[in-house]
Amino acid sequence: MRGFVPPDPIDGVSKIQFAVVYVPKRNRNRFAANCVEIKASAEEARASSNSAKKKFAAKILGPSKSSEGQFIYYLLEWLEPNEFTEP
């Protein structure tokens, strides 16, 4: 995982999670903690996403502390909306 702060193997502080991320454009690799809403599952993240409000479902790694002292999350992958919705 080049460019990432590795997950803490002892305390498990940084871990892979699902979230909804507020971002104006999906061209960033890391996000401030105040732009991230942690969700319990990928399905919950997809259900909470809203592209009109610039909130996108993602699989992220974090939190991690940046050199500026901010808590940040790293993007692992964007989760696309479900292709099928139940009636």
25: containing domain = 15-78
Model confidence pLDDT, tens digit, residues 25-61 = 888 899 999 999 999 999 999 999 999 999 999 999 9
The answer to whether residue 61 is domain-embedded is yes
The answer to whether residue 84 is domain-embedded is no
Model confidence pLDDT, tens digit, residues 5-16 = 555 555 566 899
Total of domains in the chain: 1
pTM value is 0.79
End-to-end CA distance of the chain: 40
The answer to whether residue 54 is domain-embedded is yes
Per-residue CA distances from 31 to 12, 28, 42 (Å): 19, 7, 18
